[in-house]
Chains A and B, each alone.
Chain A
Amino acid sequence: MTETTAPLSDAAIRRQMLVEFWFYFRQNRGAVIGLIVFSLLVAIAVLAPVIAPHDPTSQYRDAFLVPPVWQEGGSAEFLLGTDAVGRDMLSRLIFGAQYSLFIGIVVVAIALIGGVIIGLVAGFFQGWVDNVIMRVMDVILAFPSLLLALVLVAVLGPGLTNAMIAIAIVYQPHFARLTRAAVMGEMKREYVTAARVAGAGNLRLMFRTILPNCLGPLIVQATLSFSSAVLDSAALGFLGMGAQPPSPEWGTMLAEAREFILRAWWVVTFPGLTILISVLAINLMGDGLRDALDPKLKRS
């Protein structure tokens, strides 16, 4: 008696992979918490105009440095207090979520696309192409990332757009290296030779045949870069080189709050706390993704 299994359709295989991924991801409690917090953050950013009690830039002249509501002198109108020019902290923090998520997405997108293309080319063609590309990446990696980003911003001019470009340039070699290593591993596999023999061109081989099989580590790296981008852009904002006042970017808010640290704890504490919580949530997710996507760690 012979049993034949019906061949699975592409969609079914994909669904199967997702189910398996979720199975491993769910086992990591921290990752699930991270995912929930991150989803909340996305919701806050999207709904910011609806849920923020005040305009993030409007100044209430009669309410400078009002403490949070639970402290003496606080007011229910400003739940987390106001800053030195009478702006509502809570509203600024809510709108700040838009900045951080936007920065993370843009930086990761630029660094990922650039890095993947460069890494693919290096890993696919190897030889001198690979050598030249990788030496250039080594040069970028020789600089401490924040320093290089700072100098790039000095060249391009301070501001949010330039800060994002600078951070993306600094992160891009990590993606290039990772892609190259993965591509080199895949190139030796038989399915690549088979596709080549079947007449697939270089571009098709690179992007359709090889790239989808290298995605695991890239997704993990993208998550980690997302959290670093939020941190580094906040650091640039803090140093006066990122988003410029009065934008409610969390790092920029901290820079403005610095002179009040011993007088008004809330203007310093809350922006930093939101940065920490966001970065922590993304890193928790990253840990879970790594466990779920890294085949070496899976105990089958």
Chain B
Amino acid sequence: MIRFILAKLLYLVPTFLGITIIAFGFVRILPGDPVLLMAGERGVSPERHAELSAQLGYDKSLVLQYFDFLGRLMHGDLGNSLVTKKPVLTEFLALFPATVELGLFAIILATVIGVPVGVLAAIKRGSWFDQISMTTALVGFSMPIFWWGLLLIILFSGILGWTPVSGRISLMFFFPNVTGFMLIDSLLSGQKGAFGSAVSHLILPSVVLATIPLAVIARQTRSAMLEVMGEDYVRTARAKGMPPFRVIGIHALRNAMIPVVTTIGLQIGVLMAGAILTETIFSWPGIGKWMIDSISRRDYPVVQSGLLLIAGLVMLVNLAVDLTYGLINPRIRAT
């Protein structure tokens, strides 16, 4: 198992270097002077330009600059935002819990609903439940989630007035930021109604974000179950008189879960892309909105480092998925 983990880790090194090259090259291929772009200044005198250039290390050769970039990266220095002047990493860490909270809630929602629906659809193959749930899943899979979010706002915030339109918590509440997770912080604060407000802010965004993963998980679970239920060992278990509940619960479900776990893990990239849209619609102060805002504000140091951090994160999650896969499916480890 240790060899398996090491091999996987080693495999990531070139990919990560590739990611750093893309993030490093990003500023170079932007139209305009990279020195001015990264310094966020305009119309500077030649002296000031030379000063900035030296300050940012742009007077060195490209290869040296790249190694400088890598060196700073290893020390956790990701540059400063042009707008707020704060270190990019500090901003990222401050906003990250909001995205994690939203993403985690969404993936839990998608799994808790998607897996049972998929299993039931497979067991009752061809029934009305199967047909309706799989048609719904295909609609969900085809959903433009930015529109779906707007529709839900019209219905639940506009017409019914049940949920707030944007943000993470009502402005009435103010409490210290302990964990960055609004649900936990609001409970810790002990203020009456704070937790309820946090939950009501979280519901619509997480439903929107969960839509596509939910559809994918339901479809994947159904097809995995169907495949497993056609296997010989399931037929054997049935033939020897095992109750159907045990056949499905113990023999079929366990093996069907192997590809499903991978699918759930791989949704992290989908979630990140979805977070960009969802956070924009609901003004959710997370990483996705931060990236969009930074792109439109031309805050290039943030875009550069944000890109790097997000890609690195997705890579690590994919590694974790790979390792889990090896853990629950011993056949993979041998190769």
- Using a CB–CB cutoff of 8 Å, the interface residues on chain A facing chain B are 30, 135-136, 138-139, 142-148, 150-151, 154-155, 157, 227, 231, 234-235, 238-241, 251, 254, 258, 261-262, 265, 268-269, 271-272, 275-276, 279-280, 283-284, 287
Contact = CB atoms under 8 A, between A and B. Distances in A.
Given A150-B295, A235-B146, A283-B138, 17 more contacts: A135-B14, A139-B19, A143-B310, A144-B270, A144-B314, A154-B295, A155-B30, A234-B144, A238-B277, A240-B296, A251-B146, A258-B150, A261-B158, A268-B147, A271-B147, A272-B148, A283-B141
Interface residues on B, range: 35 or more
Centre residue among A135, A147, A276, A283 by max chain B CB count within 10 A? A147
A268 B138 contact: no
B228 to A, nearest CB: 16
A235 B270 CA distance: 14
The 9 closest A-B pairs by CB, nearest first: A272-B147, A139-B18, A146-B273, A279-B142, A144-B272, A280-B142, A144-B273, A262-B158, A275-B144
Interface in B298-321: 303, 307, 310-311, 314-315, 318
A138 to B, nearest CB: 5
Contacts of B273: 144-147
B194 to A, nearest CB: 27
Contacts of A262: 153-154, 158
Contact of B26 (A142, A144, A151, A284): A151
Contacts of A251: 144, 146
Given A157-B31, A235-B277, A261-B150, A143 B144 contact: no
22 contacts: A138-B15, A139-B15, A142-B15, A142-B19, A142-B314, A143-B314, A144-B269, A147-B272, A147-B273, A147-B276, A147-B291, A154-B303, A155-B26, A155-B30, A155-B31, A254-B147, A258-B150, A261-B150, A262-B158, A276-B147, A279-B143, A283-B142
Nearest to B307: A151
A229 to B, nearest CB: 13
B139 interface: yes
Contacts of B143: 276, 279
Interface in B256-306: 269-270, 272-273, 276-277, 280, 291-292, 295-296, 303
B151 interface: yes
Q: Is the interface of B mostly helix, strand, loop or mixed?
A: helix
A280 to B, nearest CB: 4
Given A144-B273, A284-B138, A261 B26 contact: no
A143 B304 CA distance: 13
A146 B138 contact: no
Given A144-B272, A151-B295, A234-B144, A139 B314 contact: no
B30 to A, nearest CB: 5
Interface string B7-32: 00000001100110110001001110
Contacts of B280: 239
A268 B18 contact: no
A231 B292 contact: no
B295 A279 contact: no
B277 A268 contact: no
A130 B176 CA distance: 53
Nearest to A230: B144
B154 A261 contact: yes
B22 A139 contact: yes
Of the candidates A258, A269, A272, the one having the most CB atoms from chain B within 10 angstroms of its own CB is A272
Given A227-B142, A258-B150, A276-B139, A143 B307 contact: yes
A268 B269 contact: no
Contacts of B311: 142-143
A283 B135 CA distance: 11
B75 to A, nearest CB: 22
A210 to B, nearest CB: 26
Given A147-B272, A279-B144, A239 B150 contact: no
